[in-house]
Amino acid sequence: MNSDCELCTRSGGELLWENDFCRVVRVTDASADAFPGYCRVIVKQHIAEMSDLDGAEARALMAVVFATERAVRLVAQPDKINLASLGNVVPHLHWHVIPRWRDDSHFPAPIWAAAKRVVVARDNDAREELRPALEAELSTVNDLP
């Protein structure tokens, strides 16, 4: 744990699922209305890069990322999913799972770019459906540490 790291000291969003290795959170900042279902998969250990993981850990992490993607697709029904692991601002290994729509505020640019149009507030009724969908997807994954 690094006491200067926000992903070591805070959850990073609304906790949806966790085990000893990682957690999945729903992003609750200002982007939540524009991108409902936006999640982060956060490794609990304070490391910066995928190559810091051994092979089994890397496969397990990606299994969680892909399960999260499937759950977000099911409940949010976006036109596209963006997966990103940047860490330039917060060098703590985490993946963004971002639902995208052709008419969203930034499409086709990344959500970190300047907005191209007014934010389209999306129906967030799927919020309650995300946790059970994620749990169902993760129940099929055999490689979790």
Quick one: tokens of 68?
């999260």
What does the pLDDT read at residue 70? 97
Alpha-carbon gap, residue 137 to 112, rounded angstroms:
28
Q: Which domains does the chain have, with CATH numbers?
A: 6-137 (3.30.428.10)
Quick one: tokens of 20?
């000893």
Answer whether 105's CB lies under 8 Å from 35's CB.
no
Task: Supply the DSSP symbol for 126.
Answer: T
Alpha-carbon gap, residue 47 to 94, rounded angstroms:
9
- Burial (CB < 10 A; 0-12, 13-18, 19+), residue 39, is buried
What does the pLDDT read at residue 124? 66
What does the pLDDT read at residue 113? 92
Quick one: tokens of 89?
């601002």
pLDDT tens digit at each of 145 positions of the chain: 888 899 999 999 999 999 999 999 999 987 888 899 999 999 999 999 999 999 999 999 999 999 999 999 999 999 999 999 998 899 999 999 999 999 999 999 999 999 998 877 776 666 789 999 999 999 988 767 6
What does the pLDDT read at residue 21? 95
What does the pLDDT read at residue 1? 82
Quick one: tokens of 84?
């990103």
pTM equals 0.93
What does the pLDDT read at residue 127? 73
DSSP E strand stretches across 19-137: 22-26, 39-43, 80-84, 94-100
